[in-house]
Amino acid sequence: MIENKKIIVALGGNAILSDDPTAEAQIAAIRQTCDRLVDLVEHNNQLIISHGNGPQVGNLLLQQQLANSEKNPALPLDACVAMTEGSIGYWMQNEMSSILKKRHIDKSVVSLITRVEVDKDDVAFEYPTKPIGPFLTEVEVAEAREDGGKYIEDSGRGYRKVVPSPKPVGIVECDTVKQLIEHGVITISCGGGGIPVLKTEEGYKGVEAVIDKDFASEKLAEQVKADVFIILTGVDHVYINFNKPNQKKLEQVTTEDLKQYIEQGQFEPGSMLPKIEAAVQFVEASDHGIAIITSLGNLDNIHQGAGTVVVKHKQVTSKEASITAEMY
């Protein structure tokens, strides 16, 4: 197991929401996730948790639209992102605290409402691509399009609404996160990719968009100088030629190799690609950091070589070698 490192773990929104959208089911899923994450805390790691909210914010938007009226107007997307960041963070904070208490670990947990600065000129505002919310049938999407939104077919599983997803410029609350880490506080930050804001002369202003949680997590990992950036997803490893007879899992892989695979179109844009791009970006921006892409179930086994480990060079530097050696 990794020990004595500063670790950011990015959780997908689908790791929190299963087929059952009730609060009870989401809390149960979060409880299982937190139980695995506390293992990292037991090995004296500084833990920062980020999470997605795609399904949750999409469901909240539908609720807002259904209840929309002159006396009860629907809230804008940035407010819905903040609401789901707060609710998921609250659940996670509760479950993490309970598990820490059961294991007799004296650690505080805080969920931080996090703003993430974006660029007003980002092309994403002209070309919305980020799927949010539930999968809809052709009949359902025909009715849903009446709200003026854009809907696309997603991975053969149905139609989903797509919204702008600008790249993060910086984490507004980064200094606060650093202070919390220095005081040993387990910090839940950049929930749902953070709340997208534009910097103005008067301060920050929310904007209708969602930020990919992998890119927001990477930016945070970069700014707090994390040692390890872990992206948890639905598969144990990253694969090339995925679901083909010649599919191959990637174990330790360099950023240059991953760039070549990206050029070959090996990774699905709405699925694995942002995770790969975020991992590459972090490793190349870091002096010694590594990135790991794996599943939650594999988290216990990363010291045995489980997961895809992204490094800067095939002949790793001494710093990278020492980190990798401690893992395996």
Catalytic annotation, residues: 13-14, 130, 213, 275
Are the C-beta atoms of residues 215 and 275 closer than 8 Å to each other?
A: no
- As a whole number of angstroms, the distance between CA 231 and CA 105 comes to 25
